[in-house]
Amino acid sequence: MRISGGIARGIPLLVPKGDAVRPATDGVRQAVFSSLAARIAGSSFLDLFAGSGGYGLEAFSRGADRGIFVEKSPKAIACLRENIRSVCKSVGRSAELLEVRAGDALAWKPDGDQVPDLVFIDPPYELIPEVGPVLLAGLRDRLARQPDPLVVFEMPGEIALSAPGWRCVKRLGKGPRQPTVAFFRRDDNT
């Protein structure tokens, strides 16, 4: 697994051994970031269920200003911290712009005025039917001060999520039993 674009393109990312983390593939991340192109530069992001940090570090490599990673696995956090060091060294920017929070993604709350404009969510697939609607509902309130937040949610193609206050505006992927990515925007009409 490597950073697929931006200044840190080609930098390998460490992934913890075992099956506790299922990193987003390079191809899926490339498709996501091709769709996001103009939104990345200068953005702030939140990477929930961060694992090795692939989505957030890809955004940082492509020009995001700062970000927060939320992960609860100590093994994944150790790899994530190493990946942050490698990517920050490659892009010549301070690791202090990236925060790692050890904890449950469902419990994340913004600090003060730092509300991200991009949220990446890539949970274990088996948890999505249960936590997906809860996450989206919580983000509706937690991102209220952000004028146009975008949630990028990776899930298998057979799952379709919906939550009050959000609408899926785009879906990338090949269908059932394959990784797909849904792009959600706030729906102020609900």
Average pLDDT over residues 15-28: 70
Could you state, in order of their start, the residue ranges of all structural domains in the chain?
26-103+114-186
Q: What pLDDT score was predicted for residue 123?
A: 93
27 Cβ contact partners less than 8 Å away, ≥ 6 residues apart: none
Average pLDDT over residues 106-127: 90
Report in angstroms the alpha-carbon separations of 27 from 33, 78, 106. Answer: 10, 24, 27
Q: Is the separation of the CB atoms in 67 and 98 below 8 Å?
A: yes
108 Cβ contact partners less than 8 Å away, ≥ 6 residues apart: 46, 48, 68, 70, 101, 142
pLDDT in tens, 23-45: 666 677 888 999 998 899 999 99
Q: Is the separation of the CB atoms in 102 and 71 below 8 Å?
A: yes
Helix axes 74-91, 54-61, angle to 10 degrees: 10
Percent of the chain with pLDDT strictly greater than 90:
72
CATH of 26-103+114-186 among 3.40.50.150, 3.30.70.660, 3.40.366.10, 3.40.250.10: 3.40.50.150
